[in-house]
Every structure is written in C-alpha cells, then in structure tokens.
Amino acid sequence: MEHQHFKIYKPYGYLSQFINNGPKQGKKKLLGELNLFPKGIMSIGRLDEKSEGLLLLTTNGKLSNHINSSKFEKEYYALVDGAISDEAILQMANGVEIGFNGKKYQTKPCTVKRLTTSPQLPNRSKKIRDARHGPVTWISVILTEGKFRQVRKMTSAVGFPTLRLVRIRIHNIHLDTLNIGEVIAMESMENHFI
C-alpha cells in the first residue's frame, strides 16, 4: 500500500487527533472534520487546542516516529503580551525552566528573535487582544524539541504570555500561503526528512 501524506493549517480550537477519546473531550473539534482522510492517518507531532498552523499528517507510522524522534527544527510565530525585552529574548534563547509532567524542565538553547513587522497570517476565528489594550510583540521561536505547550510556557516564564501561537515551519516544509483549515496532499514526505 502506498502511504499518503498531507500538510494542513490546523485551526485554533481543534485537537490534533482524529477520534474522540471519551466523554472528557465532549464536543471538541477534531482534524477529521477538515477533510476525508484515509484510514490509518496520524498527525506527526501535535499542536495544542489553542495553537494553530502547520501540521503534517501521514499514514506511515515509521516516518512519523522518525520525524518525532529526530531533532528537526520547528519554527513558531508567537504574539506575546507586552513589548518583550532583549533580556527576555536572550533568556528564552539560552533556555528557561518550565513545568513539564509535574517536574521542572530546563529548555534547550534555541533561536528567538523579535519580528520587525507583523507576519501575514489569516485572521483567527477567535479575536485576540490587540495593541489598543497595550503593546504586543511578534517573535519567532525555532526549537528542535517539543514539550507540551513549550513555547507558551517559555514566554510565560520570562513574563510575556503568548496571545497567539502559529507554527510556520517543520524542517524545510513551510506553512506558505495555506489558509486556516486548508489541506494539501503531498506526493512525498520522506525526501524532506532523509
């Protein structure tokens, strides 16, 4: 059987899964509502419910494990509350202490920079507090790890909570001009991650 691969723009408010895992999840929105996906489809990594952007899907479990276990870069654009300081950016880049699974975790060094202009992203379904209510800053964060809600925890740890989080790149696959909820079939994904 030939494997199938997709890249999607995961909308805000969706879980990165295809089946409901019981009553606790209630009426949560799932990825299967975006398209008619083939049997055995899985997301490669996840984005939490309040995060959006690039998500890769595949029917190839081996490829999914390879991408998840390797140190491929993931780039996020984060809109943070406040005029983030150079010191806070440096702290994040050097690694900060966050909570993970009930323990303290020191994030690995990463690349963090302030964006000079707001990125051209589609409007989110849920309104975001804007600059009329005080300063906000867009930053780029490039990680090779991906703990649960890591970018949000990192910006909070330095005093600038995340208002919007969009993953724009995984290794050399970019979000490009995908619209929210858009799904594109990819001919091959393996050659991107050799």
For the structural domain made of 74-170, what CATH number should be given?
Answer: 3.30.70.1560
Instruction: For residue range 19-56, list pLDDT tens digits in order.
Output: 766 666 667 899 999 999 999 999 998 999 999 999 99
Amino acid at 143: L
Arithmetic mean of pLDDT, 87-112: 94
Angstrom distance (rounded) from CA 68 to CA 70 = 6
d(CA 71, CA 30): 27
48 tagged catalytic: yes
The single residue of 48, 81, 130, 176 carrying the catalytic annotation is 48
Domain span(s) for CATH 3.30.70.580 in the chain: 5-70+172-192
Tell me the percentage of the chain whose pLDDT exceeds 70.
94
Note the pLDDT of residue 25.
Answer: 60
Q: Which CATH number fits domain 5-70+172-192: 3.40.50.720, 3.30.365.10, 3.40.50.10470, 3.30.70.580?
A: 3.30.70.580
Which pLDDT band holds residue 102 (cuts at 50, 70, 90)? Answer: confident
**What's residue 50's pLDDT?**
93
Give the tokens for residue 98.
């966050």
Picking from 76, 98, 193, 102, the residue whose alpha carbon sits closest to that of residue 154 is 98
